[in-house]
Amino acid sequence: MFKGMIHKNTAFFLAALFVVFLFLPKIIPSYYVYFIASVLVMALLAMSLNLVVGFGGLFQFHHGVFYGVGAYAIALLVKKTPIPEWICFILSPFVAALAGLIIGLICIRLSKLYFAMIQISLGSLLWALAFRWYGFTGGDDGIHGIPMPSMISGVNNSYYFILIVFVVCIVALFMILKSPFGSTLQAARDNEQRCEAIGVFVKRHQLFAIVIASFFAGIAGVLFVVLERSVFPDLLFWTLSLEILIMCLLGGWFTFAGPIIGAAIMLSLRTFIGIQTEYWTLILAVILALLIFFLPEGVWGYFQEKLKHRKEAVTERGQ
């Protein structure tokens, strides 16, 4: 049994979900295909944040800035350079990882809320740069009409591309968390002083985690551009980072698949309840309050705990 990570039930859940998603475009309208693609993009972004917050214990409160950097990177590379689009897809997440490395090197010297505040400040500088630099980033108008390869044009083609990249990324994230690096990162989260006492370079591991998470956030930014064909400064604003944190909280901080559930809940509230009332955020606030009181481990974390207790009960009866 894996503790604090994906186990067999979660793996089965993700595999079954993938099979269902393969056939969805053939049986549902295009609008819902677009919606599910949006959920996958945000789920990947939330999972990348959960790597450093849930499994790393870092106060990464402006993670959305790396999502925005990845999106702007591919938009600017495609629009302003002769580099082929597929090469731009590969380069853009590395630009986000570089931003993560630079910001991480500055922030990692601090801890907890000080870490969070300096990261929010640096992220806000990047937002201001994108918002004001009209000649390069388009300013508050953003960049629109970004050309994409013909094979991923159209809602269905974009959906399948996003789905494949999403699956590859979550497998990569799972392998990272299962590796000695992932185990050390979680140990440092639980007891940083003890890890340092046995010779673990905790700050180095945390910095690597920030860079890795920034890389996957950059991939999510690229997928956003594939789906939307545009970028705008709000992708770098701190409110998006708050939404990602809420997604992790809704699904479960210390679970692997929790952010997927959280992203689905968050976007469903915004899309379907937002159509009925402009006060959908009030409904979200009530759900969050109830969740904190009654399901502090999140929706998926709650079900994992129930399954764990059931298995333990069955094992005890068998003995």
Give the span between the Cα atoms of 6 and 171, in whole angstroms.
11
Higher pLDDT, 137 or 279: 137
Cβ-contact 224, 235 below 8 angstroms: yes
Higher pLDDT, 5 or 34: 34
In this prediction, residue 309 carries a pLDDT of: 65
Give the span between the Cα atoms of 242 and 239, in whole angstroms.
5
Mean pLDDT of 295-317: 72
In this prediction, residue 76 carries a pLDDT of: 95
In a domain, 3, yes or no: no
Instruction: Assess whether pLDDT exceeds 90 at residue 150.
Output: no
Mean pLDDT of 14-22: 80
Mean pLDDT of 59-80: 94
Percent of the chain with pLDDT over 90: 52
Mean pLDDT of 180-195: 91
- Two structure tokens written together for 206: 């945390």
8 band by pLDDT with thresholds 50, 70 and 90: low
In this prediction, residue 127 carries a pLDDT of: 94
Q: Angle, nearest 10°, between helix axes 280-294 and 238-251?
A: 40
Instruction: Assess whether pLDDT exceeds 90 at residue 256.
Output: no
In a domain, 1, yes or no: no
Shortest CA distance to 253 belongs to which of 181, 208, 305?
Answer: 305
In a domain, 97, yes or no: yes
Give the span between the Cα atoms of 120 and 65, in whole angstroms.
9
230 φ/ψ angles, rounded to the nearest 5 degrees: -160, 160
Instruction: Assess whether pLDDT exceeds 50 at residue 1.
Output: no
In this prediction, residue 4 carries a pLDDT of: 42
Instruction: Assess whether pLDDT exceeds 70 at residue 194.
Output: yes
In this prediction, residue 154 carries a pLDDT of: 85
In this prediction, residue 128 carries a pLDDT of: 93
9 band by pLDDT with thresholds 50, 70 and 90: low
Higher pLDDT, 228 or 319: 228
Q: Residue 95's CB: how many other CB atoms inside 10 A?
A: 22
In this prediction, residue 185 carries a pLDDT of: 93
Mean pLDDT of 195-208: 90
Mean pLDDT of 27-37: 92
Q: How many domains does the chain contain in total?
A: 1
Instruction: Assess whether pLDDT exceeds 80 at residue 91.
Output: yes
- Where would I find the H helices in 108-154? 112-132, 134-137
Percent of the chain with pLDDT over 70: 92
Residue 90: domain span: 8-318
Mean pLDDT of 148-162: 90
Q: pLDDT tens, 228-243?
A: 999 999 999 988 998 8
Helices (H) and strands (E) in the chain, counts: 15, 2
Mean pLDDT of the chain: 87
In this prediction, residue 7 carries a pLDDT of: 55
- Two structure tokens written together for 69: 């950097």
In a domain, 246, yes or no: yes
Map tokens 């972004």 to a residue: 45
Q: Is the dihedral of CA 292, 293, 297, 300 positive or negative?
A: negative
231 φ/ψ angles, rounded to the nearest 5 degrees: -135, 160
Q: pLDDT tens, 37-67?
A: 999 999 999 999 999 999 998 989 899 999 9
For position 136, which CATH number holds? 1.10.3470
In this prediction, residue 208 carries a pLDDT of: 96
Mean pLDDT of 125-144: 91
